[in-house]
Structure 1
Amino acid sequence: MSASDIPVSILSGGLGAGKTTTLNHLLENAPEEREIAVLVNDMGEVNVDAALVERQVTLDDDETTVTELSNGCICCGLANEFGQTIVELAKTVEFDALVVEPSGMSDPAEVAQTVRSNRQAAFHYNLDTIVTVVDAALFHDVFIAGAEVNEVTEDAKPLSDLLAEQVEFCDLVLLNKTDLVTDEELAEVESLIRALQPQADIETAERGRVDPCVLLDVGRFDLDRVSGGAGWKQAHKYHQEATDDEDGEGHDSDDHDHEDSHDNEGHSHEGHDHDDHLHPPEEFGLTSCNYGRPRPFHPERLVDWLADVPADVVRAKGLMWVAGRERHALNCNLAGTQVQVDVNGQWAATMPEFQRKAYREARPDLDWDEEWGDREIDLVFIGHDLDETAIQNSLDDCLLTDVEMDEDWERYENPFPGRAEEELVFDADVDKWGVATV
């Protein structure tokens, strides 16, 4: 094939979701004229998934090329090796399509970034689709039934947060193991997945049995659509536009894309949703609300609130300003019963004057306080029949009072991260906070 003609299908998903079973079914049923190369990643020293795929290939007397990368994750520690491996593969082996099965701990956004940003890889390959395989039963237990799932990934990321992020960055969700849930439970799972990622297609399957035509040569991947299509982003933008319509004005929501870093190069904000039609979560049986305030949270009261998040909240994301952490904007990630807080980057208000001036000139609609600059709280919640008033009132109780605004904030007990290398994780199932170094 010519440069950039080899389509890449990324087959992501959590541990035990059925990625390898799906991959084996794909290889067994793909058109005979299609030569498929496979790269399988495993966190362990022994790549069990690759061995399973290779065994199936051998049994079928197929000529599929299987490459393995072990003892690390291709979205972080092995990213460079991953890029080099697929480039070498394209140079030395003839094939028509590449299927990548990352480890269950991988972030598909980072895997896709490696394929797109590696110049040599981009010369040979074209991202075709990003598929997230979901265990329907586990997803129902974690996000709907509220079952105890205490597993935390090796980088201290809560399992539920990882599952949500894998759904939020994909263009196809393969709902697997549907035979393990009732029709009612399956409908609930589909509704929540559509709320988490309205832009993605959904296919259902048992034991990974899906038509190869939905995984190969589909031309489905669209970076703008995928990166901006997460439900919390759409809900945030939907509420912002509704506020603008009511007030006739409003701050530019493009300045508040929470997943992009607030760094000292000047808040990078890329990957916005360019779909003119926004999907309010209500369309999928859920509701959403925004919470924004130009005042910091009291760290001790916020810890108590996060330890007892309302049961109707299934997903929350956004930026937080916490007293005692004036330099950095903090990310809040809530999925299921688990909460993760880490450093997003520094506020523009803390940049050197020349950078701060350039940043403000480039964003004339940016809300700016003469004392506190761009510091703010900006959160979005998605859940079942959310009580917006109760959420807002309870969070308002966590804000600093007028008296506390004049106090020494350093005297507060503050577990929130103050460095990029730290993150705070809370698991409501075990009622425990943990501070990790990343």
Structure 2
Amino acid sequence: MATAAPVVTVLSGLWPGATYAVARALLAADPSLLLVRYDLTGTGDGYTCRVMCSGTGATAERRGALLHGDMSRTLRDEILPTVARLARTRPYRQVVLLPPAVVEPESVAAACTGCVVDGVPLSDLVRVDSYVTVVHGDFLLDALNTGDDLVRLGIPAGRDDHRALAEVAVRQIEYADTLVLWGSCAGGPFDTAQVHALLHHLAPWAAHLRLADDLIDATGLATRLLDSGRHRPDTPGTLARGVEGFALGVHDPTPSYDVVSAVFRACRPFHPQRLHETLDAINTGVLRSRGHLWLASQPHIVVTWEFAGGRLTLGALGRWQAATPEEQRHHFSDRRRLAASVEWHPYYDDRHHYLVFIGVDLDPAALHRALTRCLLTDAELADGPAAWRTYTDPFAGRFTLADALPMPAGGAL
């Protein structure tokens, strides 16, 4: 009879003290648990791996160098194989993996795909049960407002890692299937409740736990975090959620401890020049915005939108299905084809905007008006797709498709 694969819980968090405290509580609740903790050295070129088990009190430690200074490669070729080999020698133990503090859970999930250990796919050796992110309540708002990158802040990371602190914070939160809010805010109960509300808006799909003080019910915590079965390997990353038919957020314009979440959806395209001129105003007072859109001048591209820490990043997710030859559409997932068919528009096809804005004291109505003014007017719509492609486009050349397919011929979108 085949033995069930050992279970791994991935425990992430930008605040190592809080994350490690949660891990130690889990160890206290289950002495057979194996804790594998990775820390980056101060130079960002090396790491320390510690393997702990409270049942024996044993701690093994070793040091190594990041493979080519690349954290993604180190995850795939060093960290995950180490976890798999440890789990294989202890098949009846659960494993808790603490990757370096700046590692995003989605990077771990991506590294799991295609990872082979001693000729065996990782998925045959271990099963990831859940991705848990620990958030320190007293420092979250500061992190979300920090656009400085990890190198400038002196936070140990991979060589030349220029992600903003806010980017790492939101990505750790949004990919997690379980969020643990650690501690109370120094500002008092209102500030703590505000952070709690903010987390619910940032990741409404996650299970939320709150540890109000340093006295932890270790057994109760282990019951809620281990063997939860919350991770779904087929769940897309944050940028692809909208086009894959998943919710990107909740529309909750009524403030909850001053936190507001506003969803903007529309089908008619954005005028590139008007959108560009409005970008700064749109994100004023926003802590996080995310989603996708389309431009009248570039109707073949799904444009991604990410804002955190005062930085707005626009990129290309791929092609819209309507701009993809029929014989190539099998490359899209079944879920995406189904989502597109449900909301297919008679004129715009599967093209649409889906943007979510989260912040404190936001004005959802003013935000909606600003975005609506960027859409094509009735007169501009009447000019047709051929005229739209002639618009002055400040975004021209910014989006590239590695596997670009031929544009539809004639006057089609």
Q: What is the TM-score normalised by the length of structure 1?
A: 0.68
Residue 394 (structure 2) pairs with residue 413 (structure 1): yes
Identity of aligned residues (%): 22
Match of residue 274 from structure 2: 301
- Greater strand fraction, Structure 1 or Structure 2: 2
- Does the 8 A contact of 2:275 with 2:374 survive in 1? yes
- Does the 8 A contact of 2:33 with 2:94 survive in 1? yes
| Equivalent position to 1:291, from 239, 252, 264 | 264
State the SS of the aligned residue for 2:57.
Answer: coil
Following the alignment from structure 2 to structure 1, what is the Cα–Cα distance between the partners of residues 30 and 191? 34
Long gaps (5+) in structure 1: 231-256, 263-268, 422-438
Match of residue 95 from structure 2: 98
Cα offset for 1:208? 9.8
Measured at CA, do residues 41 and 137 of structure 1 come closer, stay the same or move farther in structure 2, by a change above 3 Å? same
Match of residue 199 from structure 2: 193
Equivalent runs, 1:208-357 vs 2, <5 Å:
211=218, 214-215=221-222, 218-224=226-232, 227=235, 259-260=240-241, 269=244, 272=246, 281=252, 285=257, 286-355=259-328
Equivalent runs, 1:101-140 vs 2, <5 Å:
101-112=98-109, 114-115=111-112, 120-140=121-141
Count of residue pairs brought into register by the alignment? 372
The range that moved more, 373-382 or 283-292, is 283-292
State the SS of the aligned residue for 2:342.
Answer: coil
Residue 342 (structure 2) pairs with residue 365 (structure 1): yes
Residue 383 (structure 2) pairs with residue 382 (structure 1): no
Following the alignment from structure 2 to structure 1, what is the Cα–Cα distance between the partners of residues 272 and 74? 33
- Does the 8 A contact of 2:147 with 2:164 survive in 1? no
State the SS of the aligned residue for 1:162.
Answer: helix
Cα offset for 1:164? 1.7
Measured at CA, do residues 208 and 124 of structure 1 come closer, stay the same or move farther in structure 2, by a change above 3 Å? farther
Match of residue 47 from structure 2: 47
CA offset digits 1:66-87 (Å, max 9, x no partner): 5767525665663244443333
Following the alignment from structure 1 to structure 2, what is the Cα–Cα distance between the partners of residues 31 and 104? 24
Measured at CA, do residues 400 and 387 of structure 1 come closer, stay the same or move farther in structure 2, by a change above 3 Å? same
Measured at CA, do residues 307 and 416 of structure 1 come closer, stay the same or move farther in structure 2, by a change above 3 Å? farther
- Does the 8 A contact of 1:13 with 1:133 survive in 2? yes
Give the counterpart letter for 1:63 in structure 2: A
Cα offset for 1:326? 3.1
Give the counterpart letter for 1:409 in structure 2: T
Give the counterpart letter for 1:8 in structure 2: V
Following the alignment from structure 2 to structure 1, what is the Cα–Cα distance between the partners of residues 337 and 282? 38
State the SS of the aligned residue for 2:399.
Answer: coil
State the SS of the aligned residue for 1:47.
Answer: strand
Cα offset for 1:343? 1.4
Following the alignment from structure 2 to structure 1, what is the Cα–Cα distance between the partners of residues 341 and 75? 41
The range that moved more, 161-170 or 11-20, is 11-20
Give the counterpart letter for 2:125 in structure 1: H
Match of residue 166 from structure 1: 172
Following the alignment from structure 2 to structure 1, what is the Cα–Cα distance between the partners of residues 299 and 267? 13
Long gaps (5+) in structure 2: 152-159, 403-413
- Does the 8 A contact of 2:46 with 2:64 survive in 1? no
Give the counterpart letter for 1:176 in structure 2: W
- Does the 8 A contact of 2:251 with 2:262 survive in 1? no
- Does the 8 A contact of 1:40 with 1:66 survive in 2? no
Match of residue 175 from structure 1: 181
CA offset digits 1:70-121 (Å, max 9, x no partner): 5256656632444433332233456612111122332213424555775643
Following the alignment from structure 1 to structure 2, what is the Cα–Cα distance between the partners of residues 226 and 352? 25
| Equivalent position to 1:151, from 149, 158, 161 | 149
Measured at CA, do residues 10 and 67 of structure 1 come closer, stay the same or move farther in structure 2, by a change above 3 Å? farther
- Does the 8 A contact of 2:149 with 2:162 survive in 1? no
CA offset digits 1:37-94 (Å, max 9, x no partner): 414263822325x4xx57xx69998224557675256656632444433332233456
Measured at CA, do residues 75 and 203 of structure 1 come closer, stay the same or move farther in structure 2, by a change above 3 Å? farther
Following the alignment from structure 1 to structure 2, what is the Cα–Cα distance between the partners of residues 364 and 59? 53
Measured at CA, do residues 283 and 36 of structure 1 come closer, stay the same or move farther in structure 2, by a change above 3 Å? farther
When the two chains are superposed, the root-mean-square deviation of aligned CA atoms in Å is 4.2
Give the counterpart letter for 1:191 in structure 2: A
Following the alignment from structure 1 to structure 2, what is the Cα–Cα distance between the partners of residues 420 and 333? 18
Cα offset for 1:191? 1.0
Give the counterpart letter for 1:97 in structure 2: Q
Following the alignment from structure 1 to structure 2, what is the Cα–Cα distance between the partners of residues 225 and 361? 19
Give the counterpart letter for 1:130 in structure 2: Y
